[in-house]
Chain A
């Protein structure tokens, strides 16, 4: 058990819809990362938050947004969903924001767009 909790585990929805993925980091970790894992793109970094502030942005579409709340949990919002957004979305947390400490991954949310 990594200590990182992601909900829901599975999400099935239709094109054009909007969903919210939730992540609770390990106790004490200030940094949260979101990654997307798909068959064609592999594992890609989306966005990082550190103590409530956006720290780095990767290949995140404009239809996607995220935030980290004062209690340090994070949400990833995906809107105007397309078939190509079907993927496994991972959240990871670490105690620092610079990569000197390892990242601990949740079990992921599997998003299926019908």
Chain B
């Protein structure tokens, strides 16, 4: 079945460091890909999305490119802030008749001042 694999955390960075969180997927067809962020005590918030190969999603300085040839959707940010500390989830939607999301295991990011 379809699945998503993320790099294990926690990832600990200093403020203004470069961030990469790896995400790879296994899917039949052409899924849509998403990054969600979860702050402590809150629900998930959509960070960015891409719906087809070579699309680049971006939001709040975060970017991810849908790479079909490597089945990847890595999350990057050039300069992280303490306020970016959260859990990040990569997810795919198979489409078809349902929008159900399949999530990776989540990666905890800690940014230290």
The interface of chain A, by Cβ under 8 A from chain B, is 2, 4, 31, 33, 35, 42-45, 48, 55-56, 58, 90, 92, 94, 96-108
Contacts and interface: CB of A to CB of B under 8 A. Distances in A.
- Interface residue SS majority, chain B: strand
Interface in B66-113: 89, 93-106
A22 to B, nearest CB: 15
15 contacts: A4-B43, A33-B101, A43-B89, A48-B99, A56-B98, A92-B44, A97-B97, A97-B98, A99-B99, A100-B95, A102-B34, A103-B101, A105-B36, A107-B43, A108-B43
Interface of B: 32, 34, 36, 41-46, 49, 51, 89, 93-106
A55 B97 contact: yes
A42 B105 contact: yes
Contacts of B106: 42-43
Contacts of B98: 48, 55-56, 97-99
Contact of B46 (A48, A97, A102): A102
A94 to B, nearest CB: 6
B42 A98 contact: no
Contacts of A99: 32, 93-95, 98-101
Contacts of B100: 33, 45, 48, 56, 58, 99
Contacts of B93: 99
A44 B101 CA distance: 8
B43 A33 contact: no
**Chain B CB within 10 Å — which of A31, A99, A102, A103 has the most?**
A99
A35 B106 CA distance: 14
Contacts of A58: 100
A4 B97 CA distance: 23
Contacts of B105: 42
A20 B30 CA distance: 36
Given A42-B106, A107-B43, A96 B99 contact: yes
Those 5 A-B pairs whose CB atoms lie nearest each other, nearest first = A99-B99, A105-B43, A99-B93, A56-B98, A43-B103
